Structure 1
Amino acid sequence: MEQSDREETGSAPGRMPLNAGDTGYGRVPGPGLSGSEVASESAPLLIPVPEPESVQEWQPMSKQQLEVAAGGPGWRKVRCYLVLLFWLAWVAMLATSIAIVVMSPRPVATPLRWWQKSLFYQLQPDLFTEGQAEESGGVNALCEQLPYLRSLGIGALILEGLFDKEASPFNVTATGERYSTLAQIQHLLAESNKAGLKVVLDFCQLDLLGPQDVSGNAEEPSNTHVLRFWLEQGVDGFAICDTDAAYSEKTLLEWRGVFKEFSKKEEEEERIVVVKQTQDALFPLNNVTLVDVVMKSILPSSPHLLSAQEVAVAIETRLQTREEDIWPSWKIGGKASHDLKKLLLVLMMTLPGSPAVQYDEDIDQTQNVSLKAGSSHGEMNEPSDTRTDKKKAKRLAVALFTSLSRSRAREEALLYGSFTFLPFNSSTNSSTNSSTSTLPSPPSLAVLAYLRSWGCVHFLILLNVGPEVHALDPAWAPSLPKAGVFVSSTGMDRLGAMTLDTLELQPHEAIVIKLFEAGSYS
């Protein structure tokens, strides 16, 4: 009986039943299940700890993966936004730059008249004598060279010595001994007009008022018919001296009336009056507009060649006593050596005003017959080395002249820029010059310097009048840019970039330098 009960209960003596009811061990309800539902299930006594998930390491995308990712819509939007942002930024910078350029203050240049932009070329009187005309062609040879002179940058001719001092220019209009000269002048005027050259007649030291009565008054109030005659021939102006009787307000007012008549008829540019200053100071007129150009000499008149020291003193005196009322025209005037003449040419071409160059064989057209009588015959008897040296000197002279004229024509700073005379120090002389009324000591006058400026453009002109080499002191003009480029020099052997700290001036050398800040190419 007891055995059968034990069999029914499924247990044996001494053994624990598997299912011991609600209070038995090992019966743990599973998650989410009631105890009745899992009463017949057994669970382990220990719950296993889950293993940590494996972390995927970062790896760069391959080319194929990048192409797939870049083609997605998100990247397309990003690229469109970046391109749009770039162009908006570019347009904004461009608009800002234009606004800065437009709104920034700039120097306003006064429009220049034709005589303010022209280079005057003075012709010697002996070109028009009858003997000169027979030997070298005279006016005909000059007419052949007019296009060549125009190519050098010359804009106007000043014809000198056409009339005898004892005679009046009225007599030229009559027939007689000088009729051939009149025909030559008319031919020259016509050819000059074709070549684009202006012509100014020199009436200096001539009696332009005609015969006078006992009281000193001219029998004809105004001999303006002479002006009308030459204006009809195509003359563009007249030159007189400050010592002539015609240099008066009354006479010049009458001349202005005649000029206005021809300006209205022919609708051409204005005719001008050039006054040659022969005295230390020009006699002032009440109406300064009656005179267009005052021609001044840089060197004083002297029967002998001026020394380097005299030339230096004359240059500095002239630079410190410049007048701004009337447009100046510069000529050499006095006598100087050949080397100093080249230096003075650089000076004239870079000063404010219009340079007036005297006729020079060095810039004559070498392939044509020289205008000087007998010069071609003399050259044939010279040694070949001498002829070679002369040809080389002519080429250098033409190159210097052309370089200066072209620089002056295209550079605003050399046309109407400001002028600043600079005190100078050299490494061989520690004394400092001052631009006061007292002239410096003689040794310090060996080198002169001045600056032509327009806006941000600066041209430095250095003149070494002395016979020694001079180096620039590093402390000289500290406010100037140190870097620059050579524009021209008397020896035409200066090319390329330069720095002021390493520059040395050769004897009798003049240099034109365009300065700019380091790293700038303006």
Structure 2
Amino acid sequence: MQKMTLKVDGDPAHGSVSVQVGRYPDLNYSNSETAPLLVPECHHDHRFHRHQQQAHWRPLNREELEIIAGGPRWRKLRSRLLLCFWFCWLLMLGTAVAIIIQTPKAVTPDLRWWQKDVFYHLHPGLLMDVQTNETSHISRVSARLPYLKSLGVSALILQGMFGPDSSSANLTEIDHSLGTLPQFTQLITQSRNAGVRVILDLCELDLFDQELGNVTDVWSSMTKNIQYTLRFWLVQGVSGFGICDTDPAFSKKTLMEWNMLLQEFSSHDDERILMVRQLGNIPSDNVFNISVNGSLVELFTKPLIPDPHHPLSPAEVAEAMEASLQTQQRDWPSWTVGGGVPRELHRAILVLIMTLPGTPIIKYGEEFNLVQQVTQLNQPPALFHSLSQSRAHEEALHFGTFTLLTFNASLPSSGLNSTSTPPIAFLRSWGCVHFLVLIHLGSKPHSLDPGWAPSLPEGGVFVTSTGLDRFGPVTLRSIKMQPHEAIVIKLFESDITT
């Protein structure tokens, strides 16, 4: 390394200063007098230390972080953020509780047994059963109890148990052509053990002999005989009685006497009831003076199709059905099919009866399929079994609200013309569950117009149909109904405006 000697005028005692030029090649000092006494290393050392600090950067440890975060500013900020969080959380909780409280609750009604059960109307003398060796008709009914339970039937109305010449004096004996009294009492016991209640139909019996006139003593004697008869059958285990609105016994005074007797044998778990069946096309005048579903009569049964005394066309059946559905029901209704219905419409009418609000009463034979053979009469019909199971498990089909839907006749259409039979549609709703029932009684296929019901959701799932051939999801805008077909659809959407 080359050394440079600096000579400075002054005291020679100071000597000379040597500078190592090789260490700083950038500095070119040709004149020794101009060479600085101090070398400029400060700028280089500052950059060096900065790079050294960056190379050794590390995050704050826990102790250092606690020291910094423990300051008053951070504590104040954290307190405010925590307070804001809890305020927002409590606000959302209060809003949710308010919505739940203000939302109307679908309270399940406390139904009585005659509002829950499916009734089966049977004349033992007409019973066909080829798979039993029983000789009496009463015993054949006993043998069919498992079949009735498989259908979902819980109440059996027996008609024709008394002879044509029966009177109030001999109603404790049944028609001997049907069986014996011990066989009948055994039937009542077996029915109760199987969970099926027995109701005696006294309709069209001349309980008050009209030929004897209105002599007070005679009427008093007949009233006592009837009271004795009713008490006798109640002791045997009968769950109630049925009469017609055209019977002489159908009066407010008589029903009050009968009701007092029924209340004597009734309990909370075993209520005895009184039924009234409408025979005419319109209710008799006495019906409007009777408290139905109240203190006197539990069920008033109406025919869905009034008996016209002649066969009806599908259009006439549809018109009669729509008229019945449009009639506002004040009390818990009870329905039978009625008369004059063409055989090809029986399955569609069965779907209607089982999905209407109220208690369905099915007559013997109405549950059978058109193709069902006599050897299959002990097998539960698939359609009836499907309907009874759906009604038992779905609250909307059991006691939900009823909304009749109308088709917009102004829509171009979908296969519907002035001579065809329009479909019938209604909703059964309970809470957020909705069922759509479509019934087409016409003889030609009918495609629903895409805009026939804009308030309904577009999708649903098939529950059952008369052909038992519809399954899985469905789009309401693309349904094509077959002739004499009825369909039950469970809708997907919960928010429906009707």
Aligned-partner SS, 1:342: helix
Q: 1:287 to 1:519 in 2, by over 3 A?
A: closer
Q: Flag structure 1 segments of 5+ consecutive residues without an equivalent.
A: 1-13, 22-41, 365-385, 434-440
Q: Report matched runs for 1:153-164 at 5 Å.
A: 153-164=152-163
Supply the distance in 2 between the matched residues of 1:305 and 1:287 (Cα, whole angstroms).
Answer: 32
1:470·1:504 contact (CA, 8 Å) conserved in 2? yes
Structure-2 change in CA distance of 1:419 and 1:519 (3 Å): closer
- Equivalent residue runs for 1:187-266 within 5 Å: 187-209=186-208, 213-217=212-216, 218-220=219-221, 221-222=223-224, 223-263=226-266
Paired with 1:407 and 1:15, the residues of 2 have a C-alpha distance of: 120
Range 93-102 or range 160-169, more displaced: 93-102
When residues 188 and 50 of structure 1 are mapped into structure 2, their CA distance, relative to the original with a 3 A threshold, is same
Q: 2:143 corresponds to which letter in structure 1?
A: E
Q: Does residue 275 of structure 1 match 2:251?
A: no
| Alignment correspondent of 1:26 | none
> Could you tell me which of 326, 343, 351 is aligned with 2:348?
343
Q: Which residue pairs with 1:142 in the alignment?
A: 141
1:252, distance to aligned residue in structure 2 (A) = 0.1
In structure 2, C-alpha distance between the alignment counterparts of 1:15 and 1:187, rounded to whole Å: 147
Secondary structure in 2 matching 1:155: strand
Relative distance call for 1:181 and 1:415 in structure 2 (3 A) is same
- What's the Cα RMSD here? 4.4
Cα pair distance change 1:332/1:94, threshold 3 Å: same
For normalisation by structure 1, the TM-score amounts to 0.72
Question: Which residue of the partner structure matches residue 324 of structure 2?
Answer: 318
The normalised TM-score by structure 2 is 0.75
Task: Choose which of 292, 295, 298 in structure 2 pairs with 1:292.
Answer: 298
Please say if residues 462 and 511 of structure 1, whose CA atoms lie closer than 8 Å, have aligned partners that are also in contact.
yes
Equivalent position SS for 1:407: helix
2:405 touches 2:425 (CA, 8 Å); kept in 1? yes
Of 21, 37, 43, the match for 1:44: 37
AA matched with 1:226: T
Alpha-carbon distance in 2 for matches of 1:391, 1:519: 47
Q: Deviations over 1:432-488 (max 9, x none)?
A: 99xxxxxxx964642110111112211110001111222222212211122111111
1:421 paired residue among 389, 404, 407: 404
| One-letter identity of the residue aligned with 2:275 | V
1:109, CA displacement in angstroms?
Answer: 3.8
Q: How does 1:445-484 map to 2 (within 5 A)?
A: 445-484=421-460
| Distance in 1 separating the partners of 2:391 and 2:151 | 12
Evaluate the alpha carbon distance shift between residue 340 and residue 46 of structure 1 in structure 2; reply closer, same or farther with a 3 A threshold. same
Instruction: For 1:154, give the aligned amino acid.
Output: V
Pick closer, same or farther for the CA change 1:203–1:517 going to 2, 3 Å: same
Give a deviation string over 1:348-388, Cα, whole Å, max 9, x none.
Answer: 01111111111128659xxxxxxxxxxxxxxxxxxxxx99x
2:394 matched to which residue of 1?
411
Aligned residue among 351, 374, 383 for 1:400: 383
Q: Provide, for residues 243-274 of structure 1, a one-character-per-residue CA deviation record: whole Å limited to 9, x for no partner.
A: 0011100000000110121126xx64221111
Contact 1:239 1:274 in 2 (8 A): yes
Q: Which deviates more, 394-403 or 196-205?
A: 394-403
CA contact (8 A) 1:425 1:472 kept: no
> 1:339 offset after TM fit, Å?
3.2
* Unmatched tracts of structure 2, length 5 or more: 1-6, 15-34, 70-77
Residue of structure 1 in register with 2:9 after alignment:
16
Identity of aligned residues (%): 44
Q: Distance in 2 between matches of 1:110 and 1:232?
A: 31
Report how far residue 294 of structure 1 moved: 1.2
Deviation at 1:17, TM superposition (A): 2.6
1:485 to 461, 477, 490: 461
Residue in structure 2 matched with residue 370 of structure 1 by the alignment: none
Q: Is the 8 A contact 2:151 2:380 kept in 1?
A: no
TM alignment of 1:54-65, pairs within 5 A: 54=51
| Contact 1:408-1:414 within 8 A present in 2 as well | yes
Question: Which stretch shows the higher mean deviation, 391-400 or 246-255?
Answer: 391-400
Counterparts of 2:231 and 2:381 in 1: how far apart (Å)?
A: 37
